[in-house]
Amino acid sequence: MNAHQSQTSPTSKHDDNNKNTVNVWPDKVQTISYTSTFDDTQQCMLFYEAKMTNDNNPVDNNEHWNDSNHNDDGLKKASENHTMSQKRPLLVALHTWSSTYKQTANGSQTAYARWCINVNWHFIHPNFRGPNWTYDACGSDAAIQDIHDAISYVKSHCSVDEDRVYGVGVSGGAHMGLLLAGKMPNVWAGLSVWAPIVDLSVWWAQRVNGVRGARRYATHIEKVVGGQPNIDNDFVCSGTTIETENITRKNKKGIIENEQEEKEKLGEYSKERVMEECRRRSPITHLKNAINIVNIDINAGVHDGRTHGGAVPFTHALHAYNALMPSSEDQLGHDFINQFYETQSPSLAIRSDDGSHLKSANKETKTKLSNPANDEMYGNKPIIFQRESNYVRVTVFRGGHEIIHNAALNWLAAQRRGRPAIWNPREICYWMDG
């Protein structure tokens, strides 16, 4: 370790109504700092280094599992039949839209670290400039470079299997995950993204007159890009009511610490500049760079985007899938996507569509419409729609704005860089209760 590493464990605040220890970062996870090459600043992240065996070889706990043994966290222990590997996988876990590297999310974020400790993977939880309401955050060049440098730091200090570098995130973390797919396609063995935001201008339009509380995301985007995006966009999908007059704004207290400084940094942006900021920070712009390179598993709950289901319509996930298809013949039809959102039923949408979502795939991508089947990794959240190609899959399940850790982490464990995705791993590598 270098002089920048802290030897202290990250601090976590407990919710008075939640005393569960899963809401606290494990003691083995440390806070460290490293240098961002973007601006030579020190950036923080949470870090866990995989353990070494007595003979200086790490234990590979990814192949064989004893289904009858569990540890105190409710997680299955590895079987005694370990395989040996000199290098360990690295999991890059990404915080959500309004959070930082310290986020616990009632155990949703700490679950990644508990997985890595139990399967003996390296783990990082970077800050990438914090909440997405400042110019330097929200998919900026600085935020992207921070993650690149965080990965480089671990590679330079630990023994990392570079064919098994994985990324995972939900909501704002999924937004960053898909940006990383397009910006750094040659790094990843797999990216598992849940409830992603793929176009900032579209999401602004969906949120600016959204349900109370969700409007704040529109304000965040305006702070980032310097104004209100142009909503004349054919990607604006069902569920979006656009009324630019008399928009009610929430109290801005706490949005940014120094609003005047932020305004000076942003300046008075033209509409063109605002839209350019939206485009360069939106995954939809860059995903073409990941086509047939990165294994990406895209997931969304069918209730997301509704009043009680979440803030990100699941149509974003379907458009992300389309952006990763090498041919329009493999894409889902826009009418189908909108009808699916309106009806929350793919079968009803199929009957109302022109059939373009069922166009036969070319031999190269082998795209197909999967027959949704019960997947034990999704637990009590049944799959209602799924489509896959060699490198990309999109799944809509019966749920809301959430991640299913079993499905995300077990899928990642089976992926290798430079190889087509394995969609149905033969073995369950790991199980996390709850």
- Sequence-distant (6+) residues with CB within 8 A of 372 are 382, 383, 384, 385, 386
CA distance 44 to 362: 45
Token pair in block for residue 182: 């397009």
How many folded domains does the chain comprise?
2
DSSP designation for 212: T
Q: Is residue 9 part of a domain?
A: no
Statement to judge: residues 132 and 231 lie in one domain: no
315: three-class secondary structure by DSSP: helix
Instruction: Please report the pLDDT score of residue 306 as a whole number.
Output: 86
Classify residue 390: in a domain, yes or no. yes
For residue 360, what pLDDT is reported?
A: 37
How far does Cα 187 stand from its chain's mean position?
16
Question: Could you list the residue range(s) of the whole structural domain that residue 408 is in?
Answer: 24-50+85-198+283-433
Residue 96 lies in a domain: yes
| pLDDT score at 358 | 47
Running along the chain, 434 residues long, what does each successive block of 10 average in pLDDT? 47 40 91 98 98 48 34 35 67 98 95 95 98 98 98 97 98 98 98 98 90 83 93 49 32 41 55 95 98 98 89 97 95 95 89 49 43 76 95 97 95 96 76 49
Same domain, 181 and 206: no
Q: How far is CA 86 from CA 77, 90, 216, 345, in A?
A: 21, 13, 47, 48
Do 94 and 206 sit in the same domain of this protein? no
pLDDT at 105: 95
Q: Are 274 and 283 in contact (CB under 8 A)?
A: no
What's the CA gap between 175 and 186, in Å, rounded?
A: 18
Q: In this structure, is residue 212 part of a structural domain?
A: yes
- pLDDT, tens only, 165-184: 999 999 999 999 999 999 99
Task: Give the integer Cα–Cα distance in Å for 45 and 160.
Answer: 17
**Count of CB atoms situated within 10 Å of the CB of 83:** 10
287 inside domain: yes
Residues 131 and 144 reside in one and the same domain: yes
- CATH assignment at residue 324: 3.40.50.1820
Looking at the fold, whether 212 and 141 belong to one and the same domain comes out as no
Does a structural domain hold residue 120? yes
Rounded Cα gap, residues 189 and 222, in angstroms:
34
* Residues whose CB falls within 8 Å of the CB of residue 189, separated by 6 or more in sequence, listed in order: 89, 163, 164, 165, 166, 295, 412, 415, 416, 417
Would you state the pLDDT for residue 422?
A: 95
Where do the H-state alpha helices sit in 158-248? 172-183, 200-208, 215-225
Same domain for 148 and 276, yes or no, is no
Mark whether 154 and 229 lie in a shared domain.
no
170 and 312 housed in the same domain: yes
> What pLDDT is stored for residue 107 in this prediction?
93
pTM of the model: 0.81
Q: 234 and 212: one domain?
A: yes
Q: What is the pLDDT of residue 373?
A: 58
Task: Say if 11 falls within a structural domain.
Answer: no
Q: In what order do the strands lie in the sheet with 392-397?
A: 30-36, 41-48, 122-126, 88-94, 160-170, 190-194, 296-301, 392-397, 383-388, 368-369
Q: What's residue 212's pLDDT?
A: 62
**What six digits make up the tokens of 84?**
């040996």
Q: What's the confidence (pLDDT) of residue 168?
A: 98
Do 139 and 221 reside in the same domain of the chain?
A: no
Residue 79 lies in a domain: no
What is the predicted pLDDT for the residue at 14? 32
Statement to judge: residues 170 and 117 lie in one domain: yes
Of 281, 306, 341, the one marking the end of a domain is 281
Q: Residues 351, 383: one domain? A: yes
What are 43's strand-pairing partners? 34
Mean pLDDT (the chain) is 80
pLDDT for residue 119: 93
